[in-house]
Structure 1
Amino acid sequence: MLTRAFAVLKKRLGLLARAGGEAVWDGGPGACVALVDRAGRLRDLSDGAAPVLGAPRARLIGRDFTSLFRSEDRPAVERALSLGGAAGRIVCALAEPAPEGAPRRVEVATSLRADGSRAALILDRNEEIEEAAALRAEAEAARREAKERADLLADLSHEMRTPLNAVIGFAEAMNEETYGPLGHAKYAEYARHIRASGGHLLDLVSSILDLAKIEADRFSLKRERTDVGALVEECAGMVRLAAERAGLALDVEIEEELPESFLDPRAVRQILLNLLSNAVKFTSDGGVTLKALREGDEIVLVVRDTGVGMSKAELAKLGARFTAAHGDGVRGAKGAGLGLALAFALAELHGGSMKLDSAPGEGVTARVRLPIAAPAAPARVRRLSSGRGEEADAHARKPAILTQLERIEAYRRERASAA
């Protein structure tokens, strides 16, 4: 629309130049007309000059025309004045910045007049340039989001492929009675592996569905009066056996007389179990500490481990984003990063927050803050997306179709690395 308006204004400018008169047309909204003498000084300006040029008309008359513009743009302005016509049209910035300090960007078109002077049309282009920049930013964000969603699906396809291959491979072995009639001890082992793989798949699918509901604003918390201390003890009990098998100490510290809090116990349980599972997964020796305390109007839950830790770059990839920044656990345990993404989202849904502090070799401290009372308005969650590296790309390129023996062998390799 501005381009069309500019064409109309420039046509009128040409008529003005050919007329050679001294009356200066006002230029219209967001535009002004300047008359420049042969020496390059401003002879006259239209009444609408002040909003466009950022200075009153009286202060500008008599100045060198090129001095209106930034020093780096002045040679181009001077060439435009000398050439006129189609060659005398440029986009540049004024020397006088806008009130907020941003540059005033304008388009200048010049025309030669019969007496050798110049007429210059100056059109404010700030709004158009800002709109174009905003559109470019939105398009880039949309491209980035589309790529992240595709990356997420590729990551999940790899994460789900291993247990699926195990289930199919062991089931085919039992169906074909590879080790003889059913009843052989090997089949009981295969049944346990199928059950474990099925449980892992169920956890993955449940997390994916919860994340999808949260992103679509269709996940609602079921708040109730919750004994936070009892809930923390319950979560510690659920992971204690896994910690002991890994040779880790699990210490629980609960502040006395914690108040009942208006929380969704299932969601808080999921936050704690995800954090505790990650702590065990990435800690080779030492231990894990779980604390619950009150700070002001908030309940603070802290999970600290003595594991491998994370660098600042790895921490920056986390936030509320889907990412596998950690990679594999110290005992070969796999993870798609869904647990952390879900923990961040569930904390934010409560109107709270979650923060991670870490350094390589110094473990990770996760601090979850949850309001004791429910917030007046429902909280919203930042958009979830994917962070993914070249290793995931390599996994995504692996063939999905495996034979029965290949499935079993792949599963055995996974189990061996975990052991």
Structure 2
Amino acid sequence: MLSVTPSSPEARSEPGWSIDAGAADAGLRRRFRLPAVAVLAAGGLLITALVHVAARGQNEVALDQQIHVARSAIDAELDKLAELAVDYAWWDESILNLIDRTDLAWADRNIGTYLHENAGVSATFVLDAGDATVYAMVAGGLETAAAETRLGPPVLDLAGTARSGPARPVVPRRAVMALDGAPQLVVAAPLTPEPGSSLAVEPGRRGVLVLARPLDREVLTRIGARFLLDGPMLVGSHAAPDGAGRLVLAGIDGEPVTTLVWQPSRPGDALLARLLPAVLAVGALIAMLAWRVNRVWSGAVRRLGQVDRQLAAILDHATDAVVMVGADGGIAGINRAAEQLFGRPAATAVGADLDDLLRSTCGGPANGYLGARRGAVELSACRPDGSLVPVEASIVPPAGGGEPVATMLILRDVTRCKEAERVLVEAREAAELASRAKSEFVANMSHELRTPLNAIIGFSEIIKAEMMGPVGSPVYLSYAADIHASGSHLLTVINDILDLARIEAGKTALNEEAVDLRACVSACVRLLRERAAAAALSLVEELPRRPVRIVADDRKLKQMIVNLMSNAIKFTPPGGVVRIGVVHGAEGAVDLFVADTGIGIAPEHREQVMQPFGLADGSGTRRYDGTGLGLPLTRALIELHGGALLLDSAPGSGTTVTLRFPRARVVAGIAEDGPRSCEVMEAC
């Protein structure tokens, strides 16, 4: 790792940092070049050792598998002989002619000679319940010697084990023994009556049929071909050649009878032979790499000085101030932008403590402040005249370990940003103040206008009703009615403005109680029935059969319903339909909807109509009058209840406005039997 060191003031010309290439070369050679060569050599030796260990391990695994296969091959030959013994032992004729009356001619004809000629059996013995030999055939000829004489005393143990087995099924016993010095596969099976036979023989008093088959060349060849053993043969237990696979075949008494040996496969040697060229190639490659590392390293160190000078030039010409801080917290170097920021040359800054140049925003030292943070932080740069310049510092921690290296601070003067931020804050505060002033002005003006309007409406109603006597001229009565209607409309507009201003100012409180939505809707329908009839519209209620109770402000709830129904009646042509209903909403909410078949709203005008005084048709020749306060006021009122206003409309297809009351406000929900549709006013 190269550490950046400041140059002396006299030597400093263009860049502010330089590097001692000779000292760096010696350090790099000591720390990297020699260890790298040693690592390459150790890697080559390790690869060679691993390949050798892997080859030896493969040979051992293969030998273990072949020993298991050889044992399975001997067991398979014994299984075949055992099946043959069971076939003849589990036969009534065998009991009658060998035990009951000892017919040697029958035994020779049906068992001894037959099995010798057709099944390769070298010896057949029949023992009675007292282990006396009643029949013996060896190598195709009758034998007078007892079984234990030819096969040894262990044959009696084998017969006794077979005789003591279960009555049924016949369970043969198997072993390897020697007959005339030749290894034999021997099986003993108890003579057992057939299922359903009338013969009765006690299990412990049964005779035993003993069959022997030689482990000769024919059997070994078959085993080798079937189980892929190379050159299997039998040798003495101490005569097995070195490196050969071996399986010791022991008798029933545990003493070795013979040893099966074969030439084991050595896949590890084949692997080593295949990998040896690759290992040699890797060794040659490692030697070339070591030579190349030694050669390239010198060129790399020569270029290091040039790279260092280029990096120093880049730092010096950067627009942001760069400060290098050493491990001891002192200044290791600064660039030209930092000289301008701090108002002092590099000669006086290098070697100074970091706290002499930077302070935290709270006025404390910067060194400890920076140590606890990562990323960009705000600091203050100290100038010689005592002034502080706000800066944003990005900390670049040291890369790597080992010897202490420098930490880089990238500083950016944020004086203009701070000024712009202050201007924005002042502008936002001014806008909020103006908005509050507007809301208060609207509220005050609305109150001032309502007082004379109440007088105008009241006196015009008295004149219209001729409460104080006849007016005289019908024209005056018409004027009084117009004054009353205009005053009432203006009062409604002022009330809407006042309500909206109160909501925006946060001064509206809800008088909450449990309200039946069905009753509210029915009351509003009765209120607007005559207006719908005058407009030749059908007014349809779609209400649940049972009450739906929510927690709401009853007056404001009716105000929302009347606003929506008034808009629907206003913008629906004669012959149309206005529907109002209550249905289930999402996540347990309750939805109150007003749907019409009117002119609809274009998608580009939906946001506009939701703003105060926003009209879909703002031209002076529009067909429909209005102030544009109905929908904004309704949305503000439903949001006061924690709900939402949903608008679905398309030109020519009508409009559906939904008031969604959240689940938290539902006291009694909608019954499962669904809404009841009732047409309360048909088109005139």
Specify whether residues 372 and 240 from structure 1 end up closer, same or farther in structure 2 by C-alpha distance, changes over 3 A only.
Answer: farther
Aligned to 2:560: 271
Contact 1:260 1:372 in 2 (8 A): no
Identify the range of structure 1 (126-135 vs 362-371) with the bigger mean alpha-carbon deviation. 126-135
Aligned to 2:594: 303
The answer to whether residue 640 in structure 2 is matched with residue 349 in structure 1 is: yes
Choose which of 428, 452, 456 in structure 2 pairs with 1:138: 428
Choose which of 277, 290, 293 in structure 1 pairs with 2:583: 293
The answer to whether residue 344 in structure 2 is matched with residue 15 in structure 1 is: yes
Aligned to 1:55: 396
Q: Which sections of structure 2, spanning at least 5 residues, go unmatched?
A: 1-337, 362-368, 376-392, 464-469, 667-684
Specify whether residues 305 and 203 from structure 1 end up closer, same or farther in structure 2 by C-alpha distance, changes over 3 A only.
Answer: same
Contact 2:339 2:346 in 1 (8 A): no
**Structure 2 CA distance for aligned equivalents of residues 300 and 20 of structure 1:** 72
Specify whether residues 28 and 201 from structure 1 end up closer, same or farther in structure 2 by C-alpha distance, changes over 3 A only.
Answer: same
Contact 1:344 1:353 in 2 (8 A): yes
Aligned to 1:28: 358
Deviations 1:70-122 (A, max 9, x none): xxxxxxxxxxxxxxxxxxxxxxxx8xxxxxxxxxx923xxxxxxxxxxxxxxx
Specify whether residues 350 and 142 from structure 1 end up closer, same or farther in structure 2 by C-alpha distance, changes over 3 A only.
Answer: closer
The sequence identity of aligned pairs, in percent, is 32
1:17-416 matched pairs, under 5 angstroms? 17-19=346-348, 21=350, 23=352, 25=354, 27-29=357-359, 51=375, 52-58=393-399, 106-107=412-413, 128=418, 131-132=421-422, 134-135=424-425, 138=428, 141-142=431-432, 145=435, 182-285=471-574, 286-295=576-585, 296-319=587-610, 321-327=611-617, 332-371=623-662, 373-374=664-665
Alpha-carbon offset, residue 322 of structure 1: 1.0
**Structure 2 CA distance for aligned equivalents of residues 10 and 146 of structure 1:** 49
- SS, match of residue 358 in structure 2: coil
- SS, match of residue 344 in structure 2: helix
- SS, match of residue 324 in structure 1: coil
Alpha-carbon offset, residue 20 of structure 1: 7.3
Alpha-carbon offset, residue 347 of structure 1: 0.7
Alpha-carbon offset, residue 188 of structure 1: 2.0
Alpha-carbon offset, residue 366 of structure 1: 0.7
| Aligned residue pair count | 282
**Structure 1 CA distance for aligned equivalents of residues 592 and 504 of structure 2:** 24
Alpha-carbon offset, residue 11 of structure 1: 7.7
Specify whether residues 264 and 359 from structure 1 end up closer, same or farther in structure 2 by C-alpha distance, changes over 3 A only.
Answer: same
Specify whether residues 220 and 24 from structure 1 end up closer, same or farther in structure 2 by C-alpha distance, changes over 3 A only.
Answer: closer
Alpha-carbon offset, residue 255 of structure 1: 2.1
Alpha-carbon offset, residue 360 of structure 1: 2.3
Alpha-carbon offset, residue 146 of structure 1: 8.6
**Structure 1 CA distance for aligned equivalents of residues 524 and 354 of structure 2:** 78
Contact 1:28 1:48 in 2 (8 A): no
One-letter code aligned to 1:279: A
Specify whether residues 200 and 137 from structure 1 end up closer, same or farther in structure 2 by C-alpha distance, changes over 3 A only.
Answer: same
- SS, match of residue 323 in structure 1: coil
One-letter code aligned to 2:358: G
Contact 2:439 2:501 in 1 (8 A): no
**Structure 1 CA distance for aligned equivalents of residues 439 and 494 of structure 2:** 16
**Structure 1 CA distance for aligned equivalents of residues 651 and 427 of structure 2:** 35
Contact 2:516 2:550 in 1 (8 A): yes
Specify whether residues 54 and 298 from structure 1 end up closer, same or farther in structure 2 by C-alpha distance, changes over 3 A only.
Answer: same
Deviations 1:25-73 (A, max 9, x none): 4542469xxxxxxxxxxxxxxx9597433421457x899x9xx9xxxxx
Alpha-carbon offset, residue 275 of structure 1: 0.5
One-letter code aligned to 1:369: R
Q: RMSD over aligned Cα, in angstroms?
A: 4.6
Alpha-carbon offset, residue 365 of structure 1: 1.2
One-letter code aligned to 2:659: V
Alpha-carbon offset, residue 258 of structure 1: 3.8
The structure with more radius of gyration:
2
Alpha-carbon offset, residue 147 of structure 1: 11
Specify whether residues 196 and 372 from structure 1 end up closer, same or farther in structure 2 by C-alpha distance, changes over 3 A only.
Answer: farther
Alpha-carbon offset, residue 138 of structure 1: 2.0
Contact 2:541 2:580 in 1 (8 A): yes
One-letter code aligned to 1:15: R
- SS, match of residue 536 in structure 2: coil
One-letter code aligned to 1:106: R
Alpha-carbon offset, residue 301 of structure 1: 0.6
One-letter code aligned to 2:579: T
One-letter code aligned to 1:17: A
One-letter code aligned to 1:292: V
**Structure 2 CA distance for aligned equivalents of residues 328 and 106 of structure 1:** 51
**Structure 1 CA distance for aligned equivalents of residues 615 and 442 of structure 2:** 13
**Structure 2 CA distance for aligned equivalents of residues 281 and 133 of structure 1:** 47
Greater RCO (CA < 8 Å, at least 6 residues apart): 1
Alpha-carbon offset, residue 134 of structure 1: 4.9
Contact 1:322 1:338 in 2 (8 A): yes
Aligned to 2:104: none
TM-score normalized by the length of structure 2:
0.35
Specify whether residues 206 and 254 from structure 1 end up closer, same or farther in structure 2 by C-alpha distance, changes over 3 A only.
Answer: same
Specify whether residues 202 and 372 from structure 1 end up closer, same or farther in structure 2 by C-alpha distance, changes over 3 A only.
Answer: farther
- SS, match of residue 242 in structure 1: helix
Specify whether residues 259 and 346 from structure 1 end up closer, same or farther in structure 2 by C-alpha distance, changes over 3 A only.
Answer: same
Specify whether residues 307 and 25 from structure 1 end up closer, same or farther in structure 2 by C-alpha distance, changes over 3 A only.
Answer: same
**Structure 2 CA distance for aligned equivalents of residues 150 and 336 of structure 1:** 20
**Structure 2 CA distance for aligned equivalents of residues 325 and 347 of structure 1:** 20
**Structure 2 CA distance for aligned equivalents of residues 251 and 331 of structure 1:** 28
One-letter code aligned to 1:359: A
Alpha-carbon offset, residue 278 of structure 1: 0.7
**Structure 2 CA distance for aligned equivalents of residues 20 and 217 of structure 1:** 57
